[in-house]
Amino acid sequence: MKNLTENLAQLFAEFGKDASSQVESGNKAAGQRARKTSLAIEKALKEFRKASLDASKK
């Protein structure tokens, strides 16, 4: 569970950096990276939800 939260924090940091690069300077490649990272965040959040539910059942 700790690994999942650390991974999520790293993904959010990457997303924030790339998204701000796209918005502030119009960097199209950064926008593409941000969109790719958003998919990874979605997957990681689903894993966290599953792990959290399993932990609450114990």
Number of other CB atoms surrounding residue 12 within 10 Å: 14
pLDDT tens digits for 19-37?
A: 999 999 999 999 999 999 9
Let me know: does 5 contact 47? Beta carbons within 8 Å. no
What is the pLDDT confidence band of residue 17, given thresholds at 50, 70 and 90? very high
| Nearest in space to 34 (alpha carbons), one of 43, 45, 23 | 23
Q: Residue 15 above 80 pLDDT?
A: yes
Structure tokens at 8: 């999520």
Give the integer Cα–Cα distance in Å for 19 and 33. Answer: 8
Q: What is the pLDDT of residue 4?
A: 93
